[in-house]
Structure 1
Amino acid sequence: MSEFPTQARAVVIGGGIVGTSTAYHLAKLGWADTVVIERHKLTSGSTFHAAGLVGQLRSNANITQLLGHSVRLYTELERETGLATGWKMNGGLRLACTEARWTELKRQATTAKSFGLEMHLLSAREAQDLWPLMQVEDVVGAAYLPTDGQANPSDITQSLAKGARMGGVTIREDTEVTGIETRDGRVTAVLTSRGRIACEVAVNCAGQWARELGRMVGVNVPLVSVEHQYMVTEAIPGVPRTLPTLRDPDRLTYWKEEVGGLVMGGYEPNPIAWAVDGIPDGFNFQLLQPNWDHFQQIVELAMGRVPALETAGIKELIAGPESFTPDGNFILGEAPELRGFYVGAGFNAFGIASGGGAGKALAEWIAGNQPPYDLWPVDIRRFGRAQADVDWVRRRTLESYGKHYAMAWPNEEHASARPLRRSPLYDRLKAQGACFGEKLGWERPNWFAAAGETPEEIPTFGRPNWFEAVGREHRATREAVAVFDQSSFAKFLLVGRDAETALSWICANDVSRPPGTLTYTQMLNAKGGIECDLTVARLAADRYHITTGTGFATHDFDWINRNLPAGADAHLVDVTSAYAVLSLMGPRARDVLQKLTRDDVSNAGFPFARVRQLALAGAPVIALRITYVGELGWELHIPTEFAVGVYEAVMAAGAEFGIANAGYRAIETLRLEKGYRAWGSDIGPDHTPLEAGLGWAVKLKTAIPFLGREALEAQRGQRLKKLLATFTVDDPSVVLLGRETILRDGKPAGWLSSGGFGHTLGKPIGLGYVRDPAGLDPDAVRAGTYALEVAAERVPCTLHLDPLYDPKMVRVKA
């Protein structure tokens, strides 16, 4: 073995499948001077005892694409390295044993079609033909993905390691990481038990040790260890080597073939946390003591599906810890706390399915200094202060584990570890019937129950129990006035003499206008993709108040901070907790507001897209005249200690105008009617403002340079490959949720990015991109004939490129 390396471009910490995959792909990108550090031996963490099922379909197109790369890599890897991987593309079956589950599968089949993934819906007997050992009397239907499969986790990891070495990567086993050096907020070296390695990048692929490794440098990696078990049988007559993998979510179990026998595991609803007080020293290539009593609930469900299990010989019950996250998605990306520190961890027992694609995406992120495509569902920046407490993380994670095979109901909320973050109005709103949802730890009113209604949500794929309540709030906003508690908004101050220059570079719209102006803007990456979607209020020459969505607090703060020009006197401060926010919206909003202040809030005195300090009911309020619901309105940013008083005054002043409380479900229905975009679904890093119909919010007519300008100038005037449109369905019983396939002239041409119901129009509404690699323009888009595929059924629809709702449609009630 050569000398221990003292310098590298990247140090990958962890020799499991994700670490070796990342190193393998870094080498492919020319980063041959990469070192992999493994505390014991390759695969000795959780990789060696993984079950090895490889499924591809997820609810997000890009994560499905990522998993598809795993399949392509595993198909070719053995040929490249000469080491067997155990990869078999034997297909994957998924069963439905209730009508609700069958609806879920049909919606997943539609999603698969949207994302270009082959998936077939089968009858119970057709499924049994593929999996003869199972009984199907209770099976309603099944789905089959022919390109799914299974692999040997240890073999794939060794093959990836060989491929990495072939590309020049150095791998050192039996080497502990003892520390990480940093300077000026960047990684400079990794310290190990065998010496120091100077480096530009450290990559935390340490599996269930990733949280502790992150803590060394103040980085939060919210994951915990949970016990997971599966059983391996002796050979069973009638089990072919080509048997597809099987997932039976109604019985909480999964299956695969192994050496003529079966592997069977599951996700019990009462999981057991492991290593609550820390992972024991020397825990390498170790399993846990099998817990037959706990596994018995899974065995009983499994025997009902595969009677042969009753008489099969049992080789062993494998019990091992795996790392899980609070939302069931893995964690990728550069940590917002430290430049050059990347994370690839928390794979929730599908690390083998994800390993190939996650390693590729992470390597490209490292080499390109930005994600290769929109990876928001797994981006480490989706977490924040709420996930800093490991006890909170564990409570939420155990709930997510227990729901691994539960129905994926639309709009379902988590129940554990709540309430955590509450606005000053929480108790008052709860007393008035608020049914709360949660985002990034914040309790937010989703809707309000009237007298006789219960403020609880009943999960369904049909029309939800809160439909009428949201309709009331929607109509109150359109016809009178409503108040929304949006205190969870993330709020930042950018201050300093160079604030204008710095923000002008980061923002696509013109924020150089004088104090008192308000700008809706995107922030773009170098490709022109939308990284942030927010409002910027100029309070003074050297001060901007920035507002963005609740869930994007960490992401947007990080994006702004990392793109401030070097040396600029511009400082970003998170002031989220300093201000509560009440959004007063509706045609009578001005009447209410004027009763509470001596300041002039007429249209002439307080025009649209302006910000002013108001003395409001005794409180100093930053008032932003803006709307996300398509009505006259203001966002009132109130110092937290004044929030309750202002709310009480607003409700009292609004009583004569029929003021109503309203929640986030109504915001969604209102914004869909107006065609307002939502970051994370309708817009994101893969979409430019021109594709999203937001070209009007970009300062291309000025000479002001901004990040992403060159990409937009190159795209301007060309036929676009996708264009965002709105779709309506005349049948009000159709439920649109997002990911339904858009059919243009009978052929798939994209999918809905979001969906819901417009209570003013009385119709289902969806937003989505019409896609054509040959290029599109508005006339070509309008010329098509459109339908949507909803749960495998074709539904006629109408395309719109203009907003559906105009305030003149509604007559104000006196």
Structure 2
Amino acid sequence: MSSTPENGRTPENRPHGASETHPQVPRVVIIGAGIVGCSLADELTARGWTDVTVLEQGPLPAPGGSTSHAPGLVFQTSPSKTLAEFAKYTVEKFVSLEVDGVSCFNQVGGLELATTPERLAELHRRAGYAAAWGIRGEVVSAARCKELWPLVDESVVLGGLHTPDDGLARALLASRAQLERATERGARFLERHTVTGIEKEDGRIKAVVTDQGTFPADHVVSAAGFWGPVIGRMAGIDVPLQPLAHQYARTKPLPELGKATEEASKPILRFQDRDLYFREHTDRIGIGSYAHQPLPVDPFAILPYDEARAQDMEMPSSYPFTEEDWAPSWEDCRWLIPALREAEIETGFNGVFSFTPDGMPVLGESRELRGFWLAEAVWVTHSAGVARAVAEWMVDGRPSLDLHECDLTRFEEAQRSPSYIRERGSQQFVEVYDVLHPLQPMEQPRPLRVSPFYARQQQLGAHFLEGGGWERPHWYEANAPLTEGLDIPERDPWSARFWSPIAAAEAKATREKVALYDMTPLRRLEVTGPGALDFLNRMTSNNLRKKPGAVTYTLLLDERGGIRSDLTVARLAPDRFQIGANSPADLDWLTRHAPADVQIRDITSGTCCIGVWGPLARDLVQPLTRDDFSHEAFGYFRAKETYLGHVPVTAMRLSYVGELGWELYTSADLGLRLWDTLWEAGQDLGVIAAGRSAFNSLRLEKGYRAWGTDMTDEHNPYEAGVGFAVRTDKEFVGREALDNAPVARKLTPLLLDDPAAVVLGKEPVFAPTLGSARAGGAPIGTPAGYVTSASYGYTLGRCIAYAWLPAELTTGAGVHIEYFGEKIPATVAEEPLFDPKMTRIRR
């Protein structure tokens, strides 16, 4: 499928969906005129889509949703680069908007306080995020915190993170400013229009039905906030968000603020150690608390605007203030700010807003109902950034930012139950201000998804973390004796969390003997039908026209050449393929494009996989089968359907750890028998079970990329170091874009100079060798890039970090990685770092 003159899109992939009857100006209906709906109308009309109708059930400009009560604090820094980019654009845009001479953003800055050593360390880590994502910020002393916020008790403060470009979004003003701009371009905003139904035809959106009439549409965007599940049910679409109530209170006038005339002059303040935040309201202080128990709200029970007013509610999103929940937080406020010790609360309410199971927005077009889009679970902080991304997605066919963390397809079926959404959404509320480790799993509901080997893994003392609902062993206590005699550097307390020195022993055993790895959570798709080969060959970048038995590493690209995913494609028969994929989005993308003679099925849950890797892998597997598993008969990147003992398997000679071995697939019902067969046969060879911690170390020693972490659709194959998977002598999606693909940056391997030093990922990287001539003329002291994946390379005796850095950095160049405020020296290395001639895999 080559790109077409139609703005680089193909007829069957028309995500912007201009219908044949309205090819130039699609009719768009946006449900919800809060900050997201108004921002989206502004972004769409700015791009020429002027036939936009925004429907709102409440009165404008304050319709009664979350926007109407939002306190407006905008802290841009986040562990998520995507959320940080959303917030940066929101600040940039709102600073440029004003209504009646009043700016829509009060850039007073932000200040996050630490009253414990753990929180102070966390602020250094957050300062690293800020630097990595291009946000100004610095960790400051307690005395400086007192200067910035004179009302705090300096004696209890250890330091703070000051971010001068953060501040207060005037959400209703920003909504009005964008409403007016969009209206000038042709959009219309209709208040008091309650949506009662969604009309569809042949799997596409047709119209939105309201109590005031029906509105035909080529696209409908649900930006209804906590009413999103209600709109979704009308469309037949699950919207995985949970509304929760959050306490906010204002004090009576404080003498210490004097006769203040400005809305706010001090930075917005976070006291995350006690789940609190503060902002000024002229001579009063506004206080928000996440310290109370989660207060979930049924979105189907939230009252319409007029009914809420009739019951003495200020708005549907404002619930009565619960004094019993507030009492402990009020004591914490008084402890931090002595001026509050004699103060009283004047008003308070419990404001409703949305949480998802992973705390991220829900964005994108539904596959089940084409033309129906979600822009849900979006806070004011990210509103304009989300709107820009969704508008780009609709108009241009793809957003300029990587949105895989926000894609509505990201949740597994097992993660979409109402119970799961409620439980995990509530936990997200509890953890808003918690210090969370990047490997820290959610606690409940677990276990949810387990492989057939789970019982055996428990017997071996597996330490499980969780991903995609799956229980994933990271190391096994049974291997603890193997650590004796190993020289394993001690770790700092942070990097030692969710880690064990046993991982080093498991990595060593894989390099020297043989290990079993549970690869069941990796997604598997089956693609069949007479058109399967042609379809997959034009959808992916590498050549798949190979004989049955071939396995190919290839890429899913978008029309601009960005890496949507990387795949392994095994041709098992002329018209049957098994694909190793990354996420539900891969299934969604392929299904959207598949012609009628191709069937695609997710077979992950009904199958399982064991990776058997190590120099003794052949010694383990060969006696179990009559087929020849020699290198000559069963070469690298080949597949074979056979039997191991009593178990039918699909064996693929692949290795993600850089050692001889196979991925062995069978049905879930035979998985335990496969494990036991391999385990028993491997006892004389010293076989062990090994976990994800060792796996990640071994794959980085070989330089194998992890999609979604090391590379996304923001990167092209040549930047990411996977250009070898591109065949430019054939046509495929994104082919034309690669002719002029830039390579100004590269995914670069780094080795930390200190054998005892460790980083974990997302740290800023400074490259002093580039001087002030760095990209964009950035001054010395500005990060040159950021770390993606990092792990200790136990074979190499150094921590490995992959980072996005300017392409001109050459092997041997010195850089520094900032880790908790300390700049750790590292050196650009040449890859692959381990076994560059691939002799260990091909033997």
- Which shifted more, 798-807 or 384-393? 798-807
Could you say if the C-alpha distance between residues 802 and 452 of structure 1 is closer, same or farther in structure 2, counting changes exceeding 3 Å? closer
Which of 35, 48, 51 pairs up with 2:68? 48
Q: Which residue in the other structure is 1:311 paired with? A: 342
Instruction: Verify: 1:130 aligned to 2:148, yes or no.
Output: yes
Which of 72, 88, 112 pairs up with 2:92? 72
Give the superposition deviation at 1:505.
Answer: 0.8
Instruction: Verify: 1:63 aligned to 2:89, yes or no.
Output: no
Query: 2 CA distance for matches of 1:536 and 1:382?
Result: 21
Query: 2 CA distance for matches of 1:459 and 1:167?
Result: 56
What code does the residue aligned with 1:404 have?
V
State how many pairs are aligned.
Answer: 782
Partners of 1:15 and 1:41 within 8 A in 2: no
Partners of 2:219 and 2:371 within 8 A in 1: yes
What code does the residue aligned with 2:137 have?
M
Partner SS for 1:493: strand
Residues 549-585 of structure 1: CA deviation (Å, up to 9, x unaligned): 3xx1x11101112233xx4521211111221111111
Q: Which residue in the other structure is 1:168 paired with? A: 186
Give the superposition deviation at 1:14.
Answer: 0.8
Instruction: Verify: 1:30 aligned to 2:48, yes or no.
Output: yes
Q: Which residue in the other structure is 2:327 paired with? A: 296
Computed over aligned residues only, the root mean square deviation of the Cα atoms, in angstroms, reads 2.2
- Which shifted more, 732-741 or 86-95? 732-741
Residues 669-715 of structure 1: CA deviation (Å, up to 9, x unaligned): 11111111111111110111100111111112x3x201111111223
Q: Which residue in the other structure is 1:624 paired with? A: 652
Q: Which residue in the other structure is 2:499 paired with? A: 466
Q: Which residue in the other structure is 2:623 paired with? A: 595
Partners of 1:85 and 1:151 within 8 A in 2: no
Partner SS for 1:363: helix
Partners of 2:229 and 2:299 within 8 A in 1: no
What code does the residue aligned with 1:740 have?
E
Q: Which residue in the other structure is 1:505 paired with? A: 538
Instruction: Verify: 1:739 aligned to 2:774, yes or no.
Output: no
Q: Which residue in the other structure is 1:3 paired with? A: none
Which of 503, 506, 512 pairs up with 1:479? 512
Query: 1 CA distance for matches of 2:172 and 2:34?
Result: 8
Residues 701-735 of structure 1: CA deviation (Å, up to 9, x unaligned): x3x201111111223xx6x2101110011323322
Which of 407, 422, 426 pairs up with 2:450? 422
Partners of 2:58 and 2:191 within 8 A in 1: yes
Residues 771-809 of structure 1: CA deviation (Å, up to 9, x unaligned): 2xxxx45xx533743222222222211112311111899
Give the superposition deviation at 1:386.
Answer: 2.0
Instruction: Verify: 1:359 aligned to 2:387, yes or no.
Output: yes
Q: Which residue in the other structure is 1:179 paired with? A: 197
Query: 1 CA distance for matches of 2:763 and 2:815?
Result: 12
Could you say if the C-alpha distance between residues 373 and 462 of structure 1 is closer, same or farther in structure 2, counting changes exceeding 3 Å? closer
Query: 1 CA distance for matches of 2:499 and 2:223?
Result: 43
Q: Which residue in the other structure is 2:288 paired with? A: 265
Give the superposition deviation at 1:608.
Answer: 0.5
Q: Which residue in the other structure is 1:439 paired with? A: 467
Report percent identity of matched pairs. 36
Which of 567, 575, 579 pairs up with 2:607? 579
Query: 2 CA distance for matches of 1:697 and 1:770?
Result: 22
Q: Which residue in the other structure is 2:567 paired with? A: 534
Partners of 1:444 and 1:486 within 8 A in 2: no
Give the superposition deviation at 1:82.
Answer: 3.9
Q: Which residue in the other structure is 2:776 paired with? A: none
What code does the residue aligned with 1:486 have?
M
Which of 334, 338, 358 pairs up with 1:327? 358
Could you say if the C-alpha distance between residues 283 and 606 of structure 1 is closer, same or farther in structure 2, counting changes exceeding 3 Å? farther
Partner SS for 2:443: coil
Instruction: Verify: 1:103 aligned to 2:121, yes or no.
Output: yes
Instruction: Verify: 1:642 aligned to 2:670, yes or no.
Output: yes
Could you say if the C-alpha distance between residues 710 and 36 of structure 1 is closer, same or farther in structure 2, counting changes exceeding 3 Å? same
Query: 2 CA distance for matches of 1:450 and 1:459?
Result: 24
Instruction: Verify: 1:88 aligned to 2:117, yes or no.
Output: no
What code does the residue aligned with 1:750 have?
G
Query: 2 CA distance for matches of 1:296 and 1:709?
Result: 61
Segments of 5+ residues of structure 1 without an aligned counterpart are 1-5
Could you say if the C-alpha distance between residues 338 and 465 of structure 1 is closer, same or farther in structure 2, counting changes exceeding 3 Å? closer
Partner SS for 1:781: coil
Give the superposition deviation at 1:752.
Answer: 0.7
Q: Which residue in the other structure is 2:593 paired with? A: 563
Partners of 1:480 and 1:658 within 8 A in 2: yes
What code does the residue aligned with 2:220 have?
A
Counterparts of residues 194-233 of structure 1 (less than 5 Å): 194-233=212-251
Residues 358-396 of structure 1: CA deviation (Å, up to 9, x unaligned): 112111111112222212222222212122211111111
Residues 249-281 of structure 1: CA deviation (Å, up to 9, x unaligned): 112110001122110112126212122774345
Q: Which residue in the other structure is 1:675 paired with? A: 703
Partners of 2:230 and 2:300 within 8 A in 1: no
Residues 576-618 of structure 1: CA deviation (Å, up to 9, x unaligned): 1221111111111111111211111111111100011011121
Residues 115-158 of structure 1: CA deviation (Å, up to 9, x unaligned): 22110210011111100000122322111000000133222222
Q: Which residue in the other structure is 2:825 paired with? A: 796
Q: Which residue in the other structure is 1:684 paired with? A: 712
What code does the residue aligned with 2:33 have?
G
Could you say if the C-alpha distance between residues 278 and 734 of structure 1 is closer, same or farther in structure 2, counting changes exceeding 3 Å? farther
Give the superposition deviation at 1:451.
Answer: 7.7
Q: Which runs of 4+ in 1 moved over 6 A?
A: 807-812
- Which shifted more, 154-163 or 205-214? 154-163
Which of 351, 356, 373 pairs up with 2:401? 373
Residues 401-456 of structure 1: CA deviation (Å, up to 9, x unaligned): 10111102231111011111121221221122111122221222122123889xxx
Partners of 2:31 and 2:221 within 8 A in 1: yes
- Which shifted more, 56-65 or 478-487? 56-65
Instruction: Verify: 1:252 aligned to 2:275, yes or no.
Output: yes
Could you say if the C-alpha distance between residues 11 and 644 of structure 1 is closer, same or farther in structure 2, counting changes exceeding 3 Å? same
Query: 2 CA distance for matches of 1:811 and 1:46?
Result: 58
Query: 1 CA distance for matches of 2:757 and 2:813?
Result: 22
Query: 1 CA distance for matches of 2:155 and 2:810?
Result: 47
Question: Scaled by the length of structure 2, what TM-score is found?
Answer: 0.89
Segments of 5+ residues of structure 2 without an aligned counterpart are 1-21, 310-314, 482-490, 770-779
- Which shifted more, 255-264 or 240-249? 240-249
Q: Which residue in the other structure is 2:488 paired with? A: none
Could you say if the C-alpha distance between residues 388 and 283 of structure 1 is closer, same or farther in structure 2, counting changes exceeding 3 Å? farther
Could you say if the C-alpha distance between residues 677 and 136 of structure 1 is closer, same or farther in structure 2, counting changes exceeding 3 Å? same
Partners of 1:410 and 1:459 within 8 A in 2: no
Partners of 1:269 and 1:401 within 8 A in 2: no
Q: Which residue in the other structure is 1:759 paired with? A: 794
Could you say if the C-alpha distance between residues 387 and 337 of structure 1 is closer, same or farther in structure 2, counting changes exceeding 3 Å? farther
Partner SS for 1:723: strand
Partners of 1:38 and 1:174 within 8 A in 2: yes
Query: 1 CA distance for matches of 2:580 and 2:838?
Result: 30
Partner SS for 2:293: coil
Q: Which residue in the other structure is 2:18 paired with? A: none
Query: 2 CA distance for matches of 1:302 and 1:377?
Result: 34
Partners of 2:495 and 2:759 within 8 A in 1: no
Q: Which residue in the other structure is 1:729 paired with? A: 752
Instruction: Verify: 1:782 aligned to 2:811, yes or no.
Output: yes
Query: 2 CA distance for matches of 1:132 and 1:393?
Result: 41
